[in-house]
Amino acid sequence: MGEKKPRPTIADVAARSGVSRTTVSMALNGKGRIDPATRERVRVAAAELNYRASVRAQRLRGGRAHSIALITALPATIVGEASHQGFLLDLALPAAQFCLESGYSLVLVPPLETEGHLDALDIDGAIVIDPEDDDPRCNALAQRGVQVVTIGAADGVDAAGVIDRGLGGADVMIDHLERNGARDIVVLSSAESYPIKKAVLTYTELKAAHPKSERPITVAFAPAAAGEKGGEDAALEILSGTSRPDAIYAPLDAFAVGVARAAARLGIAVPDELMVATNYDGRRANLVQPPLTALDLHLPEMAHAAASLLLSILEDDDDTTESPRVVTAPVPTVVARGSTGRMKAVAKQGRESSRRA
């Protein structure tokens, strides 16, 4: 076997093109005032030598890592385990593609038990999904000078940008349930102050204040860390009461799976006696029988918006804006499945009976 040829260096390019190393660096990076003919001569020399600039050296000179992190504030019981982190991957892949095309790399961070692990990350910015109010991850990053964009708004968080998810899909899903005949809806939300909880409470308050509101929507809570078991326990209590709802909307898919299990334990047929719906249209929603109606959250578009917002903040050295930049998330759409199929026929029968009467 022949000896491996040494990798060409910037000094080799400088020698071949007859210029200094600094000129080579500026010519290849498109910087500085360099004669076009000289710039072209340097590029030709680099191509002939098959020279590739050291990304590590460029980053050291520029003082940037050119890397961002994607971090979730939700516990592993929600975004990991049975879901195989599908929610994170659905966001990570399009975000990583956008970052790569923009000269950045993306680090996918699994659910953290302590924000101390963030100290090991060499990053310029971070996208934090569903932060809690006063989220320690966001504030720990901000204290290190890391720019933060959050998916979902949170109070007490030092964020440079926010992807505003509005009502979090609660309005879309509850409207679907009502159109399919639901009249007594319970929303099962997280006990923690994640953005989706605040969105649900905001929507139920708006709905209760509407003059045509027939019955306020009940909101129940369970700890997110309890995962599917927490959803099941809460649903058992809800469904065992004297006034049983005809629909339960659990935005967290782990909770929705628990609701379906509780209904099965109590002999309550889904969807004939109880409709069940969730937000994330992932593996969990599809494995339940019948499969759960969910929302298409348009995660690729959301990921692109978050990555684009963060990189624009990182590249804007002259930005003096104090308030966070806000971008509106795409409006989710319903993916209707068997778990909400029955009530539509019931509602239609009711309307026909009313007309005959």
**What DSSP string runs through 218-257?**
EEEEE-GGGHHHHHHHHHHHHHTSSS--SEEE-SSHHHHH
CA distance 260 to 292: 9
Please report which confidence band the pLDDT of residue 353 belongs to, taking 50, 70 and 90 as the band edges: very low
Distance CA 225, CA 227 (A): 5
Q: Determine if the peptide bond prior to 290 is cis (ω within 30°).
A: yes
pLDDT of residue 53: 61
Q: Is the pLDDT of residue 55 over 50?
A: no
pLDDT, position 326: 95
Q: Which domains does the chain have, with CATH numbers?
A: 10-53 (1.10.260.40), 67-164+299-331 (3.40.50.2300), 170-296+335-356 (3.40.50.2300)
pTM: 0.78
Name the phi and psi angles at 172, rounded to 5. Answer: -65, -45
Give every CB contact of residue 171 below 8 A, 6+ residues apart in sequence.
203
pLDDT of amino acid 151:
96
Tens-digit pLDDT profile for residues 195-204: 999 999 999 9
DSSP state of 99: H
> 290, exposed or middle or buried, with CB in 10 Å at 0-12, 13-18, 19+?
middle
pLDDT higher at 121 or 63:
121
